[in-house]
Amino acid sequence: MKKSIEVVGAVIVSGDHILCAQRGKGPLAGLWEFPGGKVESGETPEAALEREISEELGCSVLVGERITTTWHEYDFAVIVLTTFYCQLLNGEPQLTEHHEVKWVAPKDLSHLEWAPADVPAVQLIQATYV
């Protein structure tokens, strides 16, 4: 049985755009995702998201409403992804682990090639904003 990895993703909203990040390395390199990462032992999903955004993007966020939790089986593991709406508190996103980041209008999210685990959240966001 494959291991299950609990991860979190930040749907960072600024004005009428959402921050999208393109993976720079690993098995999903080149695909787009909501930035975030693994939940460590003893951490709440919200605390993990604040930590990951600080580490990966060099900025801080206020974690808000949960969007959804999805399960996706990849070759390497089962990913359990919980996404949250977030607000940028300070700093501007810096590239440290991602190939590219860009702000995208909700209606244009489907134009990007998303990591499969992120697709249900993309669909829910688009349904909310359209």
Q: Do 22 and 99 touch, CB atoms closer than 8 A? A: yes
Say if residue 78's pLDDT is above 80. Answer: yes
65: buried, middle or exposed (CB in 10 Å: 19+, 13-18, 0-12)? exposed
Amino acid type, 123: Q
Spatial distance between the Cα atoms of 3 and 58, rounded to a whole number of angstroms: 29
Query: pLDDT at residue 118 above 90?
Result: yes
**pLDDT of 119 above 70:** yes
Q: Is 111 exposed, middle or buried (0-12, 13-18, 19+ CB in 10 A)?
A: exposed
- Encode pLDDT of 26-43 as tens digits: 888 999 999 999 999 999
Instruction: Give tens-digit pLDDT for 54-67.
Output: 999 999 999 999 99
**Residue 96's pLDDT band (cuts 50, 70, 90):** confident
Give the residues across from 19 on adjacent strands: 103
> Averaged over 107-117, what is the pLDDT?
96
For 66-75, what is each residue's pLDDT tens digit? 999 999 999 8
Report how far Cα 97 is from the mean position of its chain's Cα atoms. 13
> What is the predicted pLDDT for the residue at 83?
98
User: 34, 121 in Cβ contact below 8 A?
Assistant: yes
